[in-house]
Amino acid sequence: MKIHNLPSPGDYIDIHSHDAAPSAGIFTVENLMAHEGKTPAEKKGIAYAIGIHPWYLSELNHDDLIKTVLLTAGNENVIAVGEAGFDKLRGPSIDLQRKAFEEQVKISEELKKPLIIHCVRMWDELLMTHKKLRPSMPWLVHGFRGKKELAFQLISRGMYLSFWFEFILRPESSGLLRELPHGRIFLETDGADVSIKDIYAKVSEDLGISLNKLKDIMAENFNNFFA
Ligand SMILES: [Zn+2]
């Protein structure tokens, strides 16, 4: 895949955001949700993902949303498909969520653009789907706030984890962070009123490494995930 817009050396990488404005020193992956009808406009320091968020999927809009993902995902400013996935607490029937998710996996595979996942209390479904479809593109679970066992189950399937911003800023996340392989983690704001710089500061302290070292790790993970 030709990546049109790449992080510059030393950038903070916000792997999952919404409504991001260009900001010096920050590279953002802006997640467009198909129902919003936004376009991946060329902006400095911003690349895009496009997907169907399960909350906004219905029998009525399914066909249109899939068409939007298909049309938009081919854009050169779009580097990933998603966020796509499963939500037990909100959204349509699991059958429809599964159908839309599998269609988006197919688009990710065909375009060779990795997949960004939203998953709430549907981990068995996600893991089963990964086993069944055996995708060649890597998947990234965004907003992760689960336990170590679950983290390692996902990582053992080749997945990457990006943490829920509130979770990562809490003292309780430090222990989990220290146990995970550095090569599998990403950091994000999810478009919330929180600074990616504060998240990096907390994580570099947790891991006992310098900010620059953490930036190097995130840049390497970015290159591997989007290779
Ligand atoms: Zn999001």
pLDDT per residue over 108-161, tens digit each? Answer: 999 999 999 999 999 999 999 999 999 999 999 999 999 999 999 999 999 999
Q: How do residues 173-191 score in pLDDT, each as one tens digit?
A: 999 999 999 999 999 999 9
Q: How far is the CA of 18 from the centre of ligand 1 (A)?
A: 6
Q: How far is the CA of 31 from the centre of ligand 1 (A)?
A: 7
pLDDT (0 to 100) of residue 20: 87
Phi-psi region of 136 (alpha: psi -120 to 50; beta: other; left: phi over 0): alpha
Q: How far is the CA of 196 from the centre of ligand 1 (A)?
A: 14
pLDDT (0 to 100) of residue 5: 79
The CATH number of the domain covering residues in 12-225: 3.20.20.140
pLDDT (0 to 100) of residue 3: 54
**CA gap 155, 149 in Å, rounded:** 10
1, pLDDT greater than 50: no
2, pLDDT greater than 80: no
Cβ proximity of 12 and 26 under 8 Å: yes
Q: How far is the CA of 92 from the centre of ligand 1 (A)?
A: 18
Q: How do residues 189-219 score in pLDDT, each as one tens digit?
A: 999 999 999 999 999 999 999 999 999 999 9
pTM for this structure?
0.95
Q: How far is the CA of 89 from the centre of ligand 1 (A)?
A: 16
User: For 94-116, what is the mean pLDDT?
Assistant: 98
Q: How far is the CA of 171 from the centre of ligand 1 (A)?
A: 23
E strands, 78-159, where? 78-87, 115-120, 139-144
Q: How do residues 6-28 score in pLDDT, each as one tens digit?
A: 899 999 999 999 998 899 999 99
Cβ proximity of 84 and 55 under 8 Å: no
78, pLDDT greater than 50: yes
**CA gap 64, 36 in Å, rounded:** 12
Residue 187 backbone dihedrals phi, psi, to 5 degrees: -125, 150
Q: What is the DSSP letter of 170?
A: S
Q: How far is the CA of 17 from the centre of ligand 1 (A)?
A: 6
Q: How far is the CA of 36 from the centre of ligand 1 (A)?
A: 13
Q: How far is the CA of 73 from the centre of ligand 1 (A)?
A: 17
Cβ proximity of 100 and 62 under 8 Å: yes
Average pLDDT value for the chain? 95
Q: Cis bond leading into 83, ω under 30°?
A: yes
E strands, 88-181, where? 115-120, 139-144, 160-163
Count of alpha carbons within 13 angstroms of residue 10, beta-carbon side = 2
Q: How far is the CA of 33 from the centre of ligand 1 (A)?
A: 9
State the pLDDT confidence band at 4, using cuts at 50, 70 and 90: low
